[in-house]
Structure 1
Amino acid sequence: MQDDVHARIHHHRHPEVITRLKRAEGHLRSTIEMVVNVRSCLDIAQQLQAVEGAIANARKILIQEHIDHCLEEAAGHIPDGSRQLLAEFKAMTKFL
């Protein structure tokens, strides 16, 4: 499998991803409970928005870290004075 190499690399931000996924899990449980208890559609919609937000944040962190890692690996050794373009590209990933 081609992702085996990347799967074994320690990702520093994975604890943040896990935190956000656990938050989404809690929101989703609450949403299910709200539907079972016939809560208002507005309350349920707000809870669903919270689920989506937590998952979107987890995805964003995961993608940013992966791009950062892959850029560093692909670029190899670059003199400090020439790293500005790479740094700008990595900064742009925060807007994904």
Structure 2
Amino acid sequence: MSSKKLFFKNVAVCLIAVSIPLFLVINSIQARRCALLEKEIAKMEQTQSAMVEDNKTLITGISVLAGADRIESLAGELGLKLAETEDIIRVEMGK
């Protein structure tokens, strides 16, 4: 073989030999990043579940507070009464 071909062959072998550990390091870095992202996703899913449960509780509370029976009893306690039809005044605003 000529010395040029032998030189390029040696350079290629050296590059391959150096690239294998480099690829292993890159692979381990990506695996670590992936594990960190999985932990973050799991934490976000737990937060989401807690928020959904809180939301359900709040919706239940709203439906209890907005119940017709409760509103009627509060209106009675405050001395409010239903307006008669003749007491209602309609105001229309022109453009």
Scaled by the length of structure 2, the TM-score of the pair is: 0.39
Greater C-alpha Rg: 2
| Higher-RCO chain (CA-CA 8 Å, sequence separation at least 6) | 1
